[in-house]
Structures are given as structure tokens and as C-alpha cells.
Structure 1
Amino acid sequence: MFPLERQKKIMDLLTIKKVLKITELTKELEVSVDTLRRDINQLTKEGKIKKIYGGIKLIESQFGESTIDERMISHLEEKNSIAQKCSEYINDGDCIYLDSGSTTFQIAKYIKNKKNLTVITNSIPIILELMNSDVELIIIGGKIRKNEQSVVTYEYLFNFNQLNIQKAFICASGITIEKGISDYNIEEAITRKKMIELSNEIYVASDSSKFGKNVTIGIAPLEKIDYIITDQNINQVLINQFKKSPTNLIISE
């Protein structure tokens, strides 16, 4: 295993367990203590981990958005169930938009066998996931957000008005009854607003941990969202509140 592969494995393990002992890591990675210390020193230098007595711990963000790598493995069971439910609303011949995000990435895994499907996306991981399938792919033009592995759009690089999107699957970092859906990054928010404007039906794919949060940038009120698909861990009080809202709440199995 190369150093970068080992370091990614260490970060993956820390995202789940937060704290790891040196003895655990040497056994898990099947490397010597000296080799492991070189990886630890590199990750410490990058500010990703902190050394503690006998082990290491993850340095977590105190505020703001977690990285796409962290989100790819957090709430994974819930995101898989949401993605599977979303795929039931995607039909052969559809033209859909898949937003950048860890939940929409999971959707890509369930739609590879759809016939005559066109997927428009700004997500590099989704492009890579669908690259060898029969799905027709369109990636929007713009600037690369490296930490999010996404493309944020600019009008002069992409003619949005030519798109005929039947269904858009959008991610959100916050969802409230009062304020609708929100996100941390202004450029991602602009892209999502544009896609909501252009699409016939709007689906928000979001795990239950996002409910009750209203984060930095407002994207859209609930009146503009047709469906929110989430997991079974959502609070019953919220379920009752959504019965009175204009948005249909769908709970995955």
C-alpha cells in the first residue's frame, strides 16, 4: 500500500472512530511502527490529526461544512436507503440533474441500468461513477471546487436555458419548515437555485441529521420543493409538521 493510500485509510478509520491507538493502526494497516509514524507526521503537518498519548485523534471542524470525504462515509446506511428510494422516482428516458453531494453520489449507483437516461451533474465523483455505464452524461461548465470535488457554474460557460430537466435531485446542509433548504457555500447555492428554477420537479435528498438546521446561505423555501426524501430516523414531530407544508416528505425504508 502506498503512503497516500495508507493516509486515506487512516482518515477513513478516524472519521468513524475519532480516536485510534497506534497498536490498532499497525495491525489494521499491517505496517511497522516506523512506517506508521511517517504517515502520522505527514497528517499532523497537514492539520488533519492530532497526536495523543499512545495514539491519534481526528481534528474536527468547529463550524461550517465538513469535507466531501468525511460525508461520503458518515450516515452511509441512511444515505444508501435514501438513494435507493430516489431511484424509484427515476424512469427510463428521463433527463435528471444530480447535485454534488454524498447522498446524490449514492443515487448514481442505483441508476446505471436505466435505459435512455440523461444525467446532468456538477459532481466529479458522480461522473466517475457513471463513466462506464450507458447513461448519457452532461457536466456543467465552471470553476472546480477541489475540496467538494464539484463544478460551480458561470453563465458565460454554460447555456442553462437549453436544458430540459424533468427532475432535479438536490442536496442541502440544512432544512427547516420556516426557512426551507440552505447550504454553506454561496457558489453551490447559486448552482442549486438555478437548477431548481429550470427543473420540472424538485427532490431534496437529505439524511435526517440535516433537519432543524438553517445554515449560512438560503437556497429555496419549501414552496419550491416538491419532495424531500429522508431516512427513518426523522423526528415524529417534524413528520407531523410536514403534513401541513407544501412539500411531500418521503421516508425511505
Structure 2
Amino acid sequence: MKIPAFAHPAPPHANRFAAAYCFRQAPGTPIRQIPTFHPAHLPKGTNDPVIHFVSVAYRISTSRQTCRKPDVDTRIRIGKYWFFLYFFLFFLISRWRSPFDRAVIPQQRQRNIVETIHAQGAARTIDLAERFSVTVETIRRDLEILHSEGLLVRTHGGAIAIDHPTRQQTAGERQIQNLARKRALARRAVEMIQPRDIVFLDASSTTLQIAEQLPDLELTVLTNSLDALEVLATRTDINLVGTGGHLVSDSRAFVGHVAIATLRRYHIQKFFFSGNGIDLKRGISETSEEQAGLKAEVLRLAEEAIFLSDDSKLNHRAAFFFAQLEQVDCWLTTPPQDPRLLDPYRNKIRRIELVPAPPDTK
């Protein structure tokens, strides 16, 4: 059979393998060098599908080496295509969620977030987003929900556990804890204040009890506590001075450079303060870095430092340490269950006074 010559090129989708039979190409000829073939190029009556099958079989049998071993560039391109195809399919499968899963996952994810934060103590928003394969905005909404339910504490850039040492309790929470013990300590502290003294009361809930029990004496009271300012505002004989500065809404305390600058102008004779924990090796600590810095500055300025804390703070550590035990002139505390726990502290603190606690608080 004679194959006619064609003036026009074949369509781009033509079968190149069939051309090997019709144009009698030599075995081993690369596929790209075989002329393009299309059924329309065959003489009339030769466009039977059998012709295509035979031509393909002939091409494979005569050019087996070329068909089985493509060149390196071709193999690299094929490998890339398969790699991206598998990657795309894996991405689609991994991101697919059924409607039922989408309805259940938020509650399950929030439970897992609470468990993670309680186990680690704290976690960042971006780390939680990567852990649960969701967006940062989704984690932020989850943290807001969990914070409103009281399961964790929302912080800038993440969240912390309820009992984490860096967690700063609100003023309302602190004021109702161990209230009878704080009142007993405050009564003893008021007895130590003399007329015309210049005293500083920090923003703790224990020293707030001092402000409530303080009589209308002729003295100067400095404080960075908004609650203490409100309590003492009606005492006409007391010269009341607020530090000013940046107000922290949770603790209702003024902090910052303005507050410290105000305190530096005064000769503070007695400094009444508390903390979130007292440790034999590290000293006294606070959960707030700003308040710890302010108290450290007042310790440097005051003549006498009087620390008030009940025995629940004994051997506890918060996030930020601000005072060494040697800086404390007097420690007012309630008796612990084991009095021997105080023996190591007596070697470092000048004076420790035990204030009997009401029976219903033990």
C-alpha cells in the first residue's frame, strides 16, 4: 500500500505510534522525530481501528528500547508531575471534613485546648493554631469562649491555666480569699502606725484591710491602690497621696514610671506590703511584673519594710521576685500547721511576728 504525501500537518492530537507503521520509520527512532499521524491521512478504507492497533504494536516491537527507557529529562518531568499530583491529592484528603465533623470539632478542640494549657501551664495562640490545624482567628475565638466560661485566663498572645504562677487574680478574687486572716494581720499593722508617720500601702488586698481599719490620724498615706484611695478619701486628718500612673484594671493598681517618680519625692518611713509567695531561697514574689518593679523601688526608699502574708503563701513562688528576705524588717504572718517551717526564715528576716488567726479560718 502506497502512502500519499500530505501538504498539511496533522492535528496535534494525532497518534504518533500509528505513524511508525504507516510511514515505515526505522526501529529505535525517538518518538518526537516520528511524523504526526491522523486517521484522515490514510487512504480511503484504511481508517479502520484495527490499523491503529497494529501500528501501535509494530511501533512497540520495533522500538522497544526507546519506549521503555525515556531520556533523563523526560523521566524528571514525569516524576515532577506525579509528585505534584500526589501532593495535591493528599492536601485535598487531609483538609476534607464531613459536615458532621465540622459540627463536632469546635467543642472537641476547645476541650483539647483546656487540657493542653493545664498540662503546660500556658500556651501561645500561634502554637495552638499549628497544633490543631486551624487559623489563629479560630483559636482566639476559642480562647475567648473558654475565658468567659472560667476554664482558663486569656492573656496577650495566648492563655494560661487558672492556677499558673503568672496568673494575676482580679481585685475581687483577692479580697474574698482568707479574709479573716487578712483582717487579723491588718489589725496588728495598724497598731504599728504612729501619728505623723509617712507610710506607703501597696495595692494588695491585705493592705486594703489596713486602709479600712486605719483611724483618722494625722499622718501621710501614699498608695498606688485605687481601692485604698476610695476608702481613705473621707478621712479628713489623713494626708492622702495617690501615686498616679498607668491603671491596671484587673488589680486596680497604678504602676509605671509616673508612680515611681511620685514615690521618690517622699521620705517613706514604713512600707506595708504583701506578695503572692515567699520562698526561702528566692525571696518574695509577685504575679505582676509592673507591681514587682514598683515594690522593689519602694523597698530601696523606705526606712522600714513590713511584710504581711498569711501562712498559705509560705514556700510559694510566683513569676517575678522583687525582695530578698534580708530586706524585710518585720514579717506579720499567721501560724502554720507546722511551726518548724518558719525556723529557716528566722535566720534571714529580722523579726517574725505570729498573729493568731480566727478559729473558723484554719
Q: Identify whether the pair has TM-score above 0.5, normalized to the shorter chain.
A: yes
Q: Which residue of 1 aligns with 2:245?
A: 142
Which residue of 156, 174, 192 maps to 2:277? 174
Q: Does 1:111 align with 2:214?
A: yes
Tell me the number of residue pairs that the alignment of Structure 1 and Structure 2 aligns.
200
Q: Which residue of 2 aligns with 1:251?
A: 354
Distance in 2 between the 1:225 and 1:156 partners?
A: 22
Letter in 1 for 2:228: I
Q: Does 1:225 align with 2:323?
A: no
Distance in 2 between the 1:74 and 1:175 partners?
A: 17
> Could you tell me how far 1:110 is from its partner in structure 2?
1.7
Q: Which residue of 2 aligns with 1:83?
A: 186
Residues 106 and 157 of structure 1, relative CA distance in 2, 3 Å threshold = closer
CA offsets 1:180-234 (integer angstroms, 9 cap, x no match): 1011111001110111111000011112111101211110111111111111336
SS in 2 for 1:158: helix
Residues 164 and 124 of structure 1, relative CA distance in 2, 3 Å threshold = same
Residues 87 and 156 of structure 1, relative CA distance in 2, 3 Å threshold = closer
Q: Which residue of 2 aligns with 1:128?
A: 230
Letter in 2 for 1:233: P
Q: Which has the higher contact order (CA 8 A, sep 6+)?
A: 1
Distance in 2 between the 1:143 and 1:160 partners?
A: 14
Residues 80 and 199 of structure 1, relative CA distance in 2, 3 Å threshold = same
Q: Which residue of 2 aligns with 1:13?
A: none
Q: Unmatched 5+ residue regions in structure 1?
A: 1-43, 51-59
CA offsets 1:8-50 (integer angstroms, 9 cap, x no match): xxxxxxxxxxxxxxxxxxxxxxxxxxxxxxxxxxxx8971558
Distance in 2 between the 1:157 and 1:99 partners?
A: 12
> Could you tell me how far 1:71 is from its partner in structure 2?
1.0
Residues 207 and 164 of structure 1, relative CA distance in 2, 3 Å threshold = same
Distance in 2 between the 1:86 and 1:62 partners?
A: 29
> Could you tell me how far 1:243 is from its partner in structure 2?
2.4
User: 1:1-253 counterparts in 2 under 5 A?
Assistant: 47-49=148-150, 61-63=162-164, 64-113=167-216, 115-134=217-236, 135-155=238-258, 158-233=261-336, 235-253=338-356
Distance in 2 between the 1:247 and 1:153 partners?
A: 30
CA offsets 1:101-156 (integer angstroms, 9 cap, x no match): 1100001122133x211100000000001110121110112100000001003158
Deviates more, 1:199-208 or 1:243-252: 243-252
Letter in 2 for 1:47: S
Q: Greater CA radius of gyration, 1 or 2?
A: 2
Contact in 2 for aligned 1:141/1:154 (Cα 8 Å): no
Letter in 2 for 1:194: E
Residues 226 and 48 of structure 1, relative CA distance in 2, 3 Å threshold = farther
SS in 2 for 1:209: helix
Contact in 1 for aligned 2:222/2:240 (Cα 8 Å): yes
CA offsets 1:75-106 (integer angstroms, 9 cap, x no match): 00100001001111111111000000110000
Query: Which of the pair is proportionally richer in helix?
Result: 2
SS in 2 for 1:218: strand
Distance in 2 between the 1:110 and 1:159 partners?
A: 25
Contact in 2 for aligned 1:242/1:248 (Cα 8 Å): no
Contact in 1 for aligned 2:284/2:323 (Cα 8 Å): yes
Task: Report the aligned-residue RMSD.
Answer: 2.0
Q: Unmatched 5+ residue regions in structure 2?
A: 1-144, 152-160, 357-362
